[in-house]
């Protein structure tokens, strides 16, 4: 059975971290590993204090009015990332934000068309599966009714 550390924390409670097999204290309270802990804390502090990755201010703006322009931005980012000119964190953020932007472009284009079917499609993108099925059923009924009105034939 694994043992828990018996050393007190600063607030007086027991540490509670698991101790390695054969020891009564965890790796953080082990006197033999004190130098390792100090090095790890220092490295963590240095890593946390490094500069935030940002693009240079001279980076040109991309027009993002349609999916083709968004694809152009993504292609540039992929190439910069491949060459090592772009930090992976920035590339991930750009990829995430552009996916949201593409979804909003789809919704706006569907809403501006004025077609009720495309408006339903835009709303359906953000719905769970069971609601999508309900909407698709309503769309089928609507299309059948329009078809019968155009042909003048009575419903079966």
153 within domain boundaries: yes
How many structural domains does the chain have? 3
89 within domain boundaries: yes
Are 60 and 107 found together in one domain?
yes
pTM exceeds cut of 0.85: no
Residue range(s) defining the domain that contains residue 154: 126-156
Burial environment of residue 77 by CB neighbours within 10 A (0 to 12, 13 to 18, 19 or more): buried
Are 44 and 69 found together in one domain?
no
3 within domain boundaries: yes
**Whole-Å CA distances, 95 to 52, 71, 88, 100:** 18, 10, 10, 9
Report which of residues 15 and 132 the model is more confident about: 15
pLDDT tier, 79 (very low <50, low <70, confident <90, very high otherwise) = very high
Q: How many helices (H) and strands (E) does the chain have?
A: 5, 0
């Amino acid at each position: 059975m694994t043992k828990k550390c018996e050393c007190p924390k600063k607030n007086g409670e027991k540490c509670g971290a698991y101790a390695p097999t054969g020891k009564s204290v965890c790796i953080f309270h082990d006197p033999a590993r004190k130098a390792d802990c100090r090095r790890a804390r220092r490295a963590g502090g240095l890593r946390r204090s490094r500069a935030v990755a940002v693009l240079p201010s001279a980076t040109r703006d991309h027009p993002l009015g349609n999916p083709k322009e968004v694809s152009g931005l993504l292609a540039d980012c992929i190439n910069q990332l491949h060459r090592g000119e772009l930090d992976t964190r920035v590339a991930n953020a750009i990829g995430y934000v552009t996916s949201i932007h593409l979804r909003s472009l789809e919704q706006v284009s569907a809403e501006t068309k004025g077609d009720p079917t495309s408006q339903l499609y835009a709303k359906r993108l953000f719905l769970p599966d069971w609601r999508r099925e309900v909407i698709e059923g309503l769309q089928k009924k609507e299309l059948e009714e329009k078809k019968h009105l155009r042909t003048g034939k009575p419903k079966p």
